[in-house]
Every structure is written in C-alpha cells, then in structure tokens.
Structure 1
C-alpha cells in the first residue's frame, strides 16, 4: 500500500502526520510512504530527521489582505506546485493521500482529487483552516478533533477521532518525569510555552513576573521560542533565576507536561491534545493572529467544559497571569477538577481510530473495484 502525507507550516500540522505515519508502519512494515511539503521548511526538517522520504514542492499561502501583486506570485507558485504534484503522483502512484492542514497540502490533495485517488483530511481545530474547508468538500473522509468543527465543513463522510499525538505520551510516567527534572515531592512545577515558535505576549508576561515583586513559590520552566530567546535573556539580565529554567526550545515536551502541576500555553490543537492526553490543569493564552482566530475557538471549547482558564492576549499582563497561577496552584481541589475535565477531552486512541478509518476506506475502494 502506498501513502502520501502532507501538512506543514507549524508543528501542529506536522506532528499529527508523523503520528499517522508511525501507526501505519506499525500495522504494515511494507507500506510505502512519501511526505510532500515545502522545500526548506519545518516539515522537511522534522520529516527527514525521522528517515521518511520527502518530496519538496513550491507553494505559498494566499495573502489574507485584498488582492495585490503577492496574490499573483502565490497563484503562480500554486500552478507550479500542481505541476510538481502531477509528476509526484504519476511516479509514486499512491493509494491514498492524507492532508493534515496548512496551505502546503493543497496542491497534492487537489491533484489527487482530480485523479479520483482516495483523499483524507485531518482537521485539528474547532474552527477549520481555509485549506481544509475547501478540500473537505471532495475528500473521501474527514477526521476532526473537535465536534464543533463539523458545522464549518462540507463532507461525504466524517469521523471524530481526537488529534493524533506522538507515541511518547503513552510511555511517560509522572513520578519518573519529576525525578528526572529534579522536582521535589511537594514542589509545584509550572511549564510555560507558546508552541514551536514561542509566543511574544506570554514571554512579556513571564518577564514581568520574573522582574516584579512577586512571591514565586513554584518551580518555573519557560520555553521562549528560538527567535525570542536572546531578547528574553537580555530583558532579565541580572535577575535572580533560582528555581527557574529558561530555554529556547525543547524536544522533551511529553516529560515536561507529565511532570507539571500547571501548564501555561497557547491553544493550538496539538498542545490541547497533549495536555488532554496527560490531564493537567492549564491556562490557555490563544494567539490572536492565527488564521480564522482558530485558537480562540479551541480555547473557548475547553473553557466551556471547565477544563481551562483562558486569558486573551489583549487582556494579558503579568499581574493577571500571576494571579491565575496562584489561584490554581493554591487550590488543590480546583486543580484536580480541571485536570480531570481536561483528561475527559483527550483521546490516546485518536491515531488508531483515524488509521482504522483510512484502512476501512481503502478496503471499501478495493471491494468496489472487485465488483466492477
């Protein structure tokens, strides 16, 4: 069986694809897999690191403002990308093409749909992105993370699976994680991060807490994002960082989340799936500039189920963030209730359910061909 996967731009689109690939390989060691993405991108870096065959294409995202010269450049790139995908499909001959979102997957899915090849869309957010809203109409299967996403999509067949996450989350133990990170038994551990690229508003609020006259009776581990690290460290130069770890990036997110008493994070679908897999109290700070404001939709879905505190970026400041941290850490009952509520929203079997759906789709296509 031959599979093409595509999705990119952020880890939120790439990691679900990698989780799907891992599950396919577990079931079928002979499966042939090709990842299609943008040349020189994050998806190329992460995919090739996993030893997965990668085919680069040229593609650009549509400008969000009115039509201008950038629109023409984007359309020219799309046409070139479609020609490249025509060649990829002709040579690879996939049985199914799976897209996990981001504009990068548009050309390969469009071309596959034109050629009547099975296509699957995996949508992570409560408010679907533009690419998936368009492609879902002709997709053979749409898999969603949030029930709320259904009303924004047109589809032939849909399943609610949850968001596929890395298998690492099934092999992390809280006690071992805390011991590995040097966290004492009764010590409260707070993890703060803003996705793979960091979050400027959260960085500024954390800087204010570190520089201000706040009583920090908890251990803080903050991830700035690579582009923000130097500026962050310059801003806190000379500040006492006892019980504080500042890093630019971490590949150790499963262990960090498992060890946490509280997580402060943006509300990307991937982050929500990860904290839900563990079950941990959290403060969500949705990024205001995301397409369709989807992070606010994600965060409100969790807030409505009493699984998260939510602070909008426009309201965020050091006082508000610190007060929310203290409110959660000092109330064990509230923290436990929140952790239980968020755990109910998780689904560790998401990737298994999704690949079950893909296999059923392939079997149905094979059976229909036999009857003809």
Structure 2
C-alpha cells in the first residue's frame, strides 16, 4: 500500500492544489493513503480537516535571504530540528512517497524523505520556480510544472501537468443561477473582488473608490471578499461612499467557501495573481484585472499576471497604480464582446486532468 504525503504550507496557493490532488488520489487509487503535512494551527490544518484528509503537523523553516542575520546563523540547528521532526512524522504515517508543494514546510519534509530513501516529487504552481522548490529540485525524481517554460525548472525532470484545480470536476451553475445562490441580482453585471485567502487592503480601498464613482449604476453590482476580520469595516466604508439611494450594489463577505459560485457569477474579477487564483480563473474562464501582490517572493505574481495578459486572458494593474482601476474595469464591464473573448482565452489556457496525470505518474513510477 502506498502512503502519499503532500507537504504544503502557508497560503491557499499551496494548499488548494494539494487538496485537489488528495481527492484525486482517493478517487483514482483508493488503496493509497493520503496525508497532508503542514504547520500546526495553520490554514492547511483547518482546510485538511474540513476536507476529511489526514493531517500531521511539521515545523516550518524560513529560508534566509542573502543578508547575514541571526536567523541565517541559526539555520543549521533550526533545520536539523525540523528535519528530525518531519522524519518522525513520515515514519509514523508509513510514508512511501512525498510530494512537496513549495514553501517553508515543504523543505524540511522533503529533506527528511530523502534521508529515509523515499521518492520525492515536487509540484510548482507558478510560472517561475520558488526558492524552496529550486533548492529541492535536485532531490526530486520528477517536478510537475503548471506552465510551459517555467522559469528555473530543472531540465530532464519536468512533467507539464498544469495546476490542479479543486473545481475542475465541480458542476458549475449558470451565471444567473450562481448569482441567485449568492443572494445577488441575477440580471446585473457582476464584479467579483477579492485579494486571496487573506484579503488585500489596497484592493479593498480601490474598490470602494470605484463604487463611489459608479454609485448611479443600477445595472452593476459587486461581490467583495474582504478577508478575515476586514468585512465589517469594509461594509462601513461602502456605506459611507455610496450613501443612500445608490444604484450600485455591493455584497461584502469575509470569506467564501463556495468560490466556484463566485467565479460563475462574475463577469469580471479583480484580484491578486497567485497561482491558485490564476488556475481557478482559467478553469472557469473568468476575465480578470490582476493586481499582483508587490511583495511576493521573486515577484512571481507579476510574472503570473504577465503570462495571462500576453495571451489576452487578463489585464494587469500594479499595486501602486490602483487608481487606474476605474479606467480599466469600467470599460471592460461595458464591453461584453471583449469579456467573452477574454473568457475564451482564459479557458483555453487551463490544462484539464492535472491531478489525474500526477496521480498516474506517481503510482506508475517504480521504486
């Protein structure tokens, strides 16, 4: 019996592809056991337990930058402790294969796996390899990449799979049905605004200014995910900006589990450009205005956004340029033909069957 460990951590960008892959292992290879390794008390633990996937905590190790620091000097001792703990958890899980998804939790788990002689695989979600995955790639049997010509990907080890989406096999309702299920007007043009699993204050503020400029538009509405703890304050900002008698409507939520409904309801999304967001936009064919997170490691979100923009599936606004949101988003909401073309372009970029291909590769490898 194979026991597959998926080492994830930190953000939804790492977690949700792992969740999609775990469900695919369960469906396609029911004799496999699947475990998610991540930080105790983190989003990965909460989501794994909600999805009914076995979870084991391991210690994360933040890799230092180029500058000499106390953290860098302590790294050997910190890493040794984390690897030792991960090795004990791998043994307890009866692990036979490890798939690392990048990030600070993945690194010590992959190192522990190699010390135990276990085959290691990596899954890279972005258009450029992250630091952890680049360092770990020399230990990996195969590297599953989401985009052709992924920057920094090792020659001879890569399998182009695409990025697994949790919504690939989900039944998606029509726009009007999705809007009704979310409590929105089924007839209004709909803007879907979100900043990733943690929200984005700069996008929130720009969206309020956008609403104020278009308060008379009785044919427009927005669904806005503010991020945990930001929803009450954002509602008050909208109320102050719109005043009474506004035509433009906004529904604010902190977070939404049924993200596939929000994508289905949207004519246009305004959001960050993390890898999982990109995959889900492509999966459901949602046109987007992408606002890359400016402090993302090695600027990978801007690279992701430029990939979609170059293929006419999205527009991009840098964080420092958010005052341009009105000039970009408003014309798009008025141009159904352009939105339809962007939707087709986004959908054409999505690679279906990513999770299935990863499962088949791992289960088919010998040793």
SS class of match (2:139): coil
Deviations 1:98-124 (A, max 9, x none): 111211111111121233311110000
1:230 positional shift: 4.2
Which whole-Å CA distance do the structure 2 matches of 1:305 and 1:122 have between them? 23
Which whole-Å CA distance do the structure 2 matches of 1:291 and 1:251 have between them? 26
1:334 is matched with which residue?
338
Unaligned 5+ segments in structure 2 are none
Count of aligned positions: 360
2:223 is matched with which residue?
221
2:264 is matched with which residue?
258
Given the superposition, is the C-alpha separation of residues 130 and 173 from structure 1 closer, same or farther in structure 2, using an over 3 Å criterion?
same
1:28 positional shift: 2.7
1:299 is matched with which residue?
305
Which whole-Å CA distance do the structure 2 matches of 1:182 and 1:168 have between them? 24
Deviations 1:169-219 (A, max 9, x none): 531122431332345554211101010001122111012223446543411
Given the superposition, is the C-alpha separation of residues 184 and 237 from structure 1 closer, same or farther in structure 2, using an over 3 Å criterion?
closer
Whether 2:84 is the aligned partner of 1:83: answer yes
RMSD over aligned CA atoms reads: 2.0
Given the superposition, is the C-alpha separation of residues 213 and 21 from structure 1 closer, same or farther in structure 2, using an over 3 Å criterion?
closer
Which whole-Å CA distance do the structure 2 matches of 1:51 and 1:332 have between them? 41
| 1:1-372 matched pairs, under 5 angstroms | 1-64=2-65, 66-149=67-150, 151-167=151-167, 170-175=170-175, 176-184=177-185, 186-212=187-213, 215-216=216-217, 217-238=219-240, 239-240=242-243, 243-317=249-323, 320-361=324-365, 364-365=366-367
Any conservation in 1 of the 2:25–2:34 contact (CA below 8 Å)? no
Given the superposition, is the C-alpha separation of residues 234 and 27 from structure 1 closer, same or farther in structure 2, using an over 3 Å criterion?
same
Which whole-Å CA distance do the structure 2 matches of 1:324 and 1:16 have between them? 30
SS class of match (2:113): helix
Any conservation in 1 of the 2:5–2:37 contact (CA below 8 Å)? yes
Which whole-Å CA distance do the structure 1 matches of 2:220 and 2:74 have between them? 50
Which whole-Å CA distance do the structure 1 matches of 2:66 and 2:199 have between them? 25
